[in-house]
Chains A and B, each alone.
Chain A
Amino acid sequence: MPQRKPKLAVWKFSSCDGCQLSLLDCEDELLAVADAVEIANFPEASRAVVKGPYDISLVEGSITTAHDAERIHGIRRASKFLVTIGACATAGGIQALRNFKDVKDFISVVYARPDYIETLKKSTPITDHVFVDFELRGCPINKLQLVEVLSAYLNGRKPNTPPHSVCIECKQRGTVCVMVAQGLTCLGTVTQAGCGALCPAYARGCFGCFGPKETPNTPALAAWFTQAGMSDRELVRAFRGFNAYAEPFRRESEMHEK
């Protein structure tokens, strides 16, 4: 009897669809992946839906509605491994910028018809709601890391995604430091690796797509920025990007707010 293929599901919450598109962007690997797993739920790619339980669920997007806060529990229950993909799912995404506005600051929130809209006050990562087996970082994720994560779970091993900083990746690829040599603002020392230190290779500073690395020393970096003439307002913006609500970046931006 042939072995049952593992069932893969892809779920979307509040997001731009870019991270799940990464799977379709694996032009060379897509048909091989589709051969190794049963794509059981992936609405962006297929109208066929296979019932759970699922061996691996990839979850994209952040929780921003009461309905979604419920829905994620059902997905967790139906999934053996739940992997969040991208900055929205792991940190709340760019839409988490709303989290910094005190509701009292909104004298009026005016849509043409506010009564038609349902939304929560905060955009939160999946891990605030359910247990997450693995978080894949990036805005967007690196598609090769996605293939690595799938391959790791299919083979019962831990995914090999480096936890060090973008700074290390620059050294590995031999890029001259853009902060030291050109005085550019760069979050590379506090941002997790994964992009391959793309921005410095294109002559710009890292702007933190992959979120905070393990134990980042953001106050030291902020002090350097200040010394280089950056205002508090600019510092707040630098830490408030796609991973604004990730704890170390959130804390650092709030320190400079008042």
Chain B
Amino acid sequence: MKNRTIKVDYLARVEGEGGLQIKVKGNQVSEVKLRIFEPPRFFEAFLRGRHFSEAPDITARICGICPVAYQMSACHAVEDAFGAKIPAPIRSLRRLLYCGEWIESHALHIYLLHAPDFLGYEDAIRMAKDHPDAVKRGLRLKKAGNAIVNLLGGREIHPINVRVGGFYKIPAKSEFVTMGEELKWARDASLETVRWVATLPIPDFERDYEFVSLRHPDEYPFNEGRIVSNRGTDIAVREYEQHFAEEHVAHSNALHSATKDRNSYFVGPLARYSLNFDRLPSHVQDAARAAGLGAACRNPFHGIIVRAVETLYACDEALRLIDAFEMPDRPYVDVEPRVGSGFGCTEAPRGSLYHRYRIDERGLISDAKIVPPTSQNLRTIEHDLLDLVPKNLEMQKDRLQWRCEAAVRNYDPCISCATHFLRLEIERD
């Protein structure tokens, strides 16, 4: 039988540096390697000795695409260590900031990174020649999300206004209301997006995943909740490391996560949606159903539709939060540092992002652990490819390669994130 190799030296339209190598013998895939050659940056090593108040700004630099997620998980973990209580108005504003990041990140992925795969374009700029209205809608939607992060965070990339305990300064209500006008357009545009992505030619492909995400008693999850799965996991955030572990593999500068019984699992929009469908408002559920989704979704290529549904939810939620805006008495609460460990997990656009810090008597971080969503998905991505390739061997080589690339992009992988949690242990005299 013929041997084939599918090789992508440098994966495009993902954040960071990775490649793909798949070896096929006859009708069998003998090897799938998602090679991560993004160089490690050792965040967990140099966080040691830094003050707890620096964690949000430093960890934001792990990822330029989802800095808010890093800032949120860092704040929650430190506040957990100190037993700080965050007042409701600040909590709402954090949720609003996160809505902004979901909108900009999802719009970026839907329109600029993923849709070109389904319509057969190398990129969104080429796609814009034939689909100018769609690309312009995507850019404006992305801008509306960025406007939230801009106003509340100070700037889109690496916001400066987030601190442990809350914010440095809270903009006036009138500024939120002005921004709300564009968000009303964005809500309509995201509904239009749900309809548009539903028309894309999306491959049939399903697997039986273990989905993992946060679940909150009343809300679609952003910052809080328990970590749950469709296979019965239901744990507090602080129990994360008792249930999930990381493994170092040769072809990757990123660790691979697995459940303690060594199974791959899936974090991100598909998991969140499938575990929290009942937490979506009924009109968002209706939009999802009209786009052909059920209450759970096991086709990773449908991720683009689920992202559109989440974008609709985030626009809606942002408008609700602006409407209910209440100026906090102070922009932040004072925290009382104490020795201990704190745990935080929030829902980044790409999935659950876990932080743990140990803080000493001087308020300095003595140990840190960060598990980004992409590293949790790496093994699942490889398993998808193992399953996908044998089913599509009749495809021409370049089309199959493109299909494999699209399958990786289903996860909106952020390779920059995934390589930055490599552990560097420093022992001193």
Q: Are A111 and B248 in contact (CB under 8 A)?
A: yes
Q: Are B161 and A15 in contact (CB under 8 A)?
A: no
A107 shortest CB reach to chain B, Å: 4
Q: Are B13 and A44 in contact (CB under 8 A)?
A: yes
Residue from the set B58, B142, B253, B424 with the largest chain A CB neighbour count within 10 Å: B424
Please pick, from A16, A45, A101, A204, the residue contacting B426 in the complex, using a CB distance under 8 A.
A101
B124 CB contacts on chain A under 8 angstroms: 45
A31 CB contacts on chain B under 8 angstroms: 125, 128, 135-136, 139
A15 CB contacts on chain B under 8 angstroms: 64, 416
Please pick, from B46, B128, B163, the residue contacting A97 in the complex, using a CB distance under 8 A.
B46
Please pick, from A17, A21, A47, the residue contacting B12 in the complex, using a CB distance under 8 A.
A47
A201 CB contacts on chain B under 8 angstroms: 154
A22 CA to B17 CA in the complex, in Å?
Answer: 18
Instruction: Count A interface residues, CB 8 Å.
Output: 62
B382 CB contacts on chain A under 8 angstroms: none
Mark out the residues of chain B between 120 and 136 whose CB falls within 8 Å of any chain A CB in the assembled complex.
122-126, 128, 135-136
B424 CB contacts on chain A under 8 angstroms: 109-111
Which B residue's beta carbon lies closest to that of A112?
B248
Q: Are B41 and A18 in contact (CB under 8 A)?
A: no
Mark out the residues of chain B between 413 and 429 whose CB falls within 8 Å of any chain A CB in the assembled complex.
414, 416, 422-429
In terms of DSSP, what is the predominant structure of the interface of chain A?
A: loop
Which A residue's beta carbon lies closest to that of B47?
A97
Q: Are B157 and A21 in contact (CB under 8 A)?
A: yes
A234 CA to B228 CA in the complex, in Å?
Answer: 41
A224 CA to B65 CA in the complex, in Å?
Answer: 36
Which A residue's beta carbon lies closest to that of B362?
A233
A199 CA to B169 CA in the complex, in Å?
Answer: 10
Which A residue's beta carbon lies closest to that of B247?
A112
Q: Are B426 and A105 in contact (CB under 8 A)?
A: yes
A41 shortest CB reach to chain B, Å: 10
Q: Are B142 and A19 in contact (CB under 8 A)?
A: no
Residue from the set B64, B249, B253, B424 with the largest chain A CB neighbour count within 10 Å: B64
Which B residue's beta carbon lies closest to that of A109?
B424
Residue A203, interface by CB 8 Å: yes
Residue B57, interface by CB 8 Å: yes
B279 shortest CB reach to chain A, Å: 30
Residue A167, interface by CB 8 Å: no
Residue A54, interface by CB 8 Å: no
Name which of A72-80, A113-121, A152-160 contacts chain B.
A113-121
Q: Annotate A69-107 by CB proximity to B: 1 below 8 A, 0 otherwise.
A: 000000000000000000000000111011001000111
A41 CA to B38 CA in the complex, in Å?
Answer: 18
Mark out the residues of chain A between 143 and 198 whose CB falls within 8 Å of any chain B CB in the assembled complex.
195, 198
A204 CB contacts on chain B under 8 angstroms: 160-161, 163, 168-169
Residue B255, interface by CB 8 Å: yes
A27 CA to B424 CA in the complex, in Å?
Answer: 38
Which B residue's beta carbon lies closest to that of A140?
B157
Please pick, from A16, A22, A109, the residue contacting B63 in the complex, using a CB distance under 8 A.
A16
B160 CB contacts on chain A under 8 angstroms: 198-199, 202, 204, 207
Please pick, from B38, B156, B427, the residue contacting A25 in the complex, using a CB distance under 8 A.
B156
Q: Are B425 and A27 in contact (CB under 8 A)?
A: no
Given contacts A111-B423, A204-B160, contact A45 B168 (CB under 8 A): no
Given contacts A46-B123, A202-B169, contact A108 B425 (CB under 8 A): yes
A117 CA to B250 CA in the complex, in Å?
Answer: 9
Residue A1, interface by CB 8 Å: no
A113 CB contacts on chain B under 8 angstroms: 248, 250
B125 CB contacts on chain A under 8 angstroms: 30-31, 34, 39, 45-46
A95 CB contacts on chain B under 8 angstroms: 41-42, 46
Residue from the set A22, A95, A117, A209 with the largest chain B CB neighbour count within 10 Å: A95
Q: Are A108 and B427 in contact (CB under 8 A)?
A: yes
Residue B16, interface by CB 8 Å: yes
Which A residue's beta carbon lies closest to that of B128?
A31
Q: Are B10 and A195 in contact (CB under 8 A)?
A: no
Which B residue's beta carbon lies closest to that of A12?
B17
Mark out the residues of chain B between 2 and 56 whose CB falls within 8 Å of any chain A CB in the assembled complex.
10-17, 38-43, 45-46, 50-51, 54
Residue B307, interface by CB 8 Å: no
Which A residue's beta carbon lies closest to that of B51?
A237
Please pick, from A47, A107, A119, the residue contacting B40 in the complex, using a CB distance under 8 A.
A119
Q: Are A107 and B157 in contact (CB under 8 A)?
A: no
Q: Are A19 and B64 in contact (CB under 8 A)?
A: yes
B39 CB contacts on chain A under 8 angstroms: 13-14, 64-65, 68, 119
A237 CA to B52 CA in the complex, in Å?
Answer: 12
B419 shortest CB reach to chain A, Å: 9
A101 CA to B45 CA in the complex, in Å?
Answer: 11
Residue from the set B10, B61, B136, B169 with the largest chain A CB neighbour count within 10 Å: B61
B278 shortest CB reach to chain A, Å: 34
A201 CA to B255 CA in the complex, in Å?
Answer: 40
A45 CA to B43 CA in the complex, in Å?
Answer: 26
Q: Are A140 and B57 in contact (CB under 8 A)?
A: no
Q: Are B140 and A46 in contact (CB under 8 A)?
A: no
Q: Are A43 and B41 in contact (CB under 8 A)?
A: no
Q: Are A17 and B15 in contact (CB under 8 A)?
A: yes
A209 CB contacts on chain B under 8 angstroms: 158
Closest 8 CB pairs of A and B: A18-B64, A46-B123, A112-B248, A47-B12, A48-B122, A27-B143, A97-B46, A95-B41
A-B contact sample (19 more), CB < 8 A, given A44-B12, A93-B61:
A12-B17, A13-B39, A14-B38, A16-B64, A17-B65, A18-B61, A21-B64, A27-B143, A31-B135, A44-B13, A45-B113, A46-B126, A47-B402, A95-B42, A117-B253, A119-B40, A203-B168, A203-B331, A204-B161
Would you give 18 A-B contacts (Cβ < 8 Å), ordered by A?
A17-B16, A18-B63, A18-B157, A18-B158, A24-B108, A25-B157, A44-B15, A47-B12, A47-B405, A64-B40, A94-B58, A101-B426, A105-B428, A112-B423, A117-B422, A140-B64, A202-B161, A204-B168
